[in-house]
Homo-oligomer: A and B are copies of this chain.
Amino acid sequence: MRLSTKGQYGVLAMYELAKRYGEGPVSIKEIAESQTFSDAYLEQLFASLKKAGLIRSLRGAHGGYQLSREPSQISIRQIIDALEGPIEFSACVGGPEGYICKKSDACVTRELWKEIQESINAIIDNRSLADLVEQGRRKQQ
């Protein structure tokens, strides 16, 4: 029960892009180095992020990636959804009614899982890359 590396790496990579927002394109290599993970793997994550419209790319020498809008306009939710698909704490909540709990009396756990999912969403909906950048600055001082 945990976020995969896609989500974890992805948010960190986007944070690095946010820190450099407005400074032109940044190469995958630079991002991968600043967080020490594989650039070939990161490339795949960026493909998903681009498809979701969160980043833009420039090919060729001096090319790279950059956020497609201001850090404050990109939420953690959007990043995770792009990389992992929407978080579903239980198949019950996202899937069809009665998917797992067939004979149970109108599934007593369904609402519980739903409540958890909503509490997660409430947090990641209201947290933007700008918040992370600001937090990073505070930490460095």
Using A116-B123, A120-B119 as known contacts, say yes or no to A104 and B3 having CB atoms under 8 A apart. Answer: no
Contact B109 A35, beta carbon cutoff 8 Å? no
Q: Would B135 and A111 count as touching, CB distance under 8 A?
A: yes
> Copy number of this protein in the oligomer?
2
- A sample of 17 more A-B contacts (CB under 8 A), given A5-B100, A108-B139, is A1-B4, A1-B87, A1-B88, A2-B87, A8-B90, A8-B109, A15-B108, A15-B109, A35-B103, A109-B132, A112-B127, A112-B132, A115-B123, A116-B124, A119-B119, A119-B120, A120-B120
Contact A139 B106 (CB under 8 A): yes
Contact with B along A95-119 (1 / 0, CB 8 A): 0000011111111110111011001
Distance in angstroms between the alpha carbons of A78 and B100 in the assembled complex = 21
The reply to whether B12 and A90 form a contact with Cβ atoms under 8 Å apart is no
Known: A1-B84, A2-B89, A90-B8. A103 touches B36 (CB 8 A): yes
